């Protein structure tokens, strides 16, 4: 019997998801038994958040459909309405493409609607990086997406064990590692001088990376939190590559403070980017002296280079991390002093917490071979 080509639909809603799913997209494309259906949504379509869909196309991927799922407002009600809009838009695309499996990633509200729609339409759902502990609303969404999903691709053994304790069938839980590690392993780091020329940095001086996202469960404190962080960096007077926040409620408060700094031409040591291609980001991280903020990159990717990471606040405070990570509060003096200590300390020994590569290869092998017969009939596994 001739095996029919299996349709794999990947829904990507933000730049972090694209960075981590890029190797998976490549592996699906290269598999002659699978057909990739790529749907791009949410902030990837928006200019003010980097319009990363252009990078996706420039990387050679064909975008089969877009779904505009962002309700403006930048507050908590807008987030909820965006989930609802996603639930309205994606069923039509699922019905049109008729995928055999849908892949969603991680823990984001802008992907949550994609998971809900797949589950309610009886389409097998594969979830990447479930089972992790972090904090804020992302953890709640991550565990909810796990319970909606039928196939699980956690990045660590501890995460895999949590998924199984949540009542998921162990035979459908595959500890594959993090797909972004595939890219870390493949990138040629190159010379610091070459990198500094590209990003207008002085190679003889240290530089840090700053990425700070809103903490949605602390929405009302977003403005004060970002001020503490940015003022600490300004007082240090250090070369900084800053990256704009994600689209979570509160992001406009962060963006407003970024724009104020950009308008002050005296602050020449800080450069802000809406989006940096992931390969470039990895090279920047590898040559940086410290990463600061509350992005998961300060936990997941930094450990592979032993880059000191100043993890601010509660957004990542429970995530598995290496000895290079120091978690502190949203206090200017503490942030400034901790960055200084990290610069004095220098690099730590690299740690390989989220796998050693080939995650995409492992994921696609499962997608190609797993038996889908009866998979949508889930029961609590005991």
pLDDT tens digits, 348-366: 999 999 999 999 999 999 9
Residues 280 and 325 in one domain: yes
pTM for the structure as a whole: 0.95
Q: Using CA atoms, how far apart are residues 376 and 165, in angstroms rounded to an integer?
A: 19
pLDDT at 36 over 90: yes
Q: Please provide the DSSP assignment of 346-371 as one string.
A: -PPPP--TT-SS-HHHHHHHHHHH--
User: What would the pLDDT profile of 282-325 be if each residue is shown by its tens digit?
Assistant: 999 999 999 999 999 999 999 999 999 999 999 998 999 999 99
Residues 245 and 161 in one domain: no
pLDDT class of 4 with cuts at 50, 70, 90:
confident
Q: Using CA atoms, how far apart are residues 286 and 296, in angstroms rounded to an integer?
A: 16
Residues 77 and 144 in one domain: yes
Number of other CB atoms surrounding residue 35 within 10 Å: 18
Report yes or no on 26 lying in a domain.
yes
Q: Could you tell me the CA-to-CA distances from 234 to 35, 155, 200, 269 in Å, in that order?
A: 49, 36, 18, 9
Report yes or no on 377 lying in a domain.
no
Residues 25 and 173 in one domain: yes
Residues 80 and 190 in one domain: no
Which of 371, 358, 375, 211 lies closest to 297, judged by CA? 211
Report yes or no on 378 lying in a domain.
no
Residues 314 and 223 in one domain: yes
Q: What percent of the chain has pLDDT over 90?
A: 94
Residues 43 and 153 in one domain: yes
DSSP 172: G
Report yes or no on 350 lying in a domain.
no
Domain range for 213: 186-345
User: What would the pLDDT profile of 267-276 be if each residue is shown by its tens digit?
Assistant: 889 999 999 9
pLDDT class of 144 with cuts at 50, 70, 90:
very high
Give me the CATH number covering residue 92. 3.40.50.2000
User: What would the pLDDT profile of 41-72 be if each residue is shown by its tens digit?
Assistant: 999 999 989 899 999 999 999 999 999 999 99
Residues 210 and 168 in one domain: no
User: What would the pLDDT profile of 201-241 be if each residue is shown by its tens digit?
Assistant: 999 999 999 999 999 999 999 999 999 999 999 999 999 99
What angle in degrees, to the nearest 10, is found between the helix axes of 109-120 and 136-148? 20
pLDDT of residue 267: 82
Q: Using CA atoms, how far apart are residues 168 and 165, in angstroms rounded to an integer?
A: 7
Residues 141 and 202 in one domain: no
pLDDT class of 135 with cuts at 50, 70, 90:
confident
Q: Using CA atoms, how far apart are residues 336 and 341, in angstroms rounded to an integer?
A: 9
Please, what sign has the CA dihedral across residues 21, 22, 25, 26? negative
């Amino acid at each position: 019997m001739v095996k029919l080509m299996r349709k794999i639909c990947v829904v990507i809603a933000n730049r972090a998801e694209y960075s981590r799913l890029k190797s998976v997209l490549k592996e699906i494309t290269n598999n002659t038994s699978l057909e990739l259906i790529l749907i791009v949504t949410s902030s990837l379509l928006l200019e003010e958040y980097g319009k990363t869909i252009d990078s996706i196309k420039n990387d050679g991927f064909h975008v089969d459909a877009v779904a505009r799922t962002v309700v403006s407002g930048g507050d908590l009600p807008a987030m909820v309405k965006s989930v609802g809009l996603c639930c309205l838009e994606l069923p039509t695309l699922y019905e049109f493409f008729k995928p055999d499996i849908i892949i969603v990633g991680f823990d984001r509200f802008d992907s949550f609607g994609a998971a809900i729609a797949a589950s309610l339409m009886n389409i097998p759902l594969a979830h990447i990086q479930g089972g992790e502990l972090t904090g804020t609303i992302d953890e709640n969404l991550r565990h909810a997406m796990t319970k909606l999903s039928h196939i699980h691709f956690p990045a660590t053994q501890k995460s895999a064990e949590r998924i199984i304790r949540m009542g998921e069938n162990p035979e459908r839980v595959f500890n594959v590692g993090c797909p972004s590690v595939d890219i870390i392993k493949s990138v040629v780091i190159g010379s610091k001088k070459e990198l500094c020329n590209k990003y207008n940095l002085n190679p003889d001086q240290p530089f840090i990376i700053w990425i700070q996202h809103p903490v949605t469960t602390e929405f009302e404190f977003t403005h004060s939190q970002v001020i503490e962080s940015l003022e600490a960096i300004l007082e240090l007077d250090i070369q900084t590559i800053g990256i704009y926040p994600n689209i979570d409620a509160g992001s406009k408060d962060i963006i407003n403070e970024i724009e104020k700094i950009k308008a002050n031409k005296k602050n020449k040591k800080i450069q802000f980017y809406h989006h940096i291609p992931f390969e470039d980001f990895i090279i920047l991280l590898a040559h940086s002296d410290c990463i600061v903020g509350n992005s998961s990159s300060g936990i997941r990717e930094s450990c592979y280079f032993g880059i000191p990471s100043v993890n601010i606040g509660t957004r990542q405070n429970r995530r598995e991390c290496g000895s290079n990570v120091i978690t502190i509060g949203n206090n200017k003096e503490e942030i400034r002093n901790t960055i200084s200590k990290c610069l004095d300390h220098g690099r730590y020994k690299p740690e390989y917490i989220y796998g050693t590569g080939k995650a995409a290869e492992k994921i696609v092998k499962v997608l190609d071979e797993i038996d889908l017969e009866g998979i949508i009939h889930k029961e609590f596994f005991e």
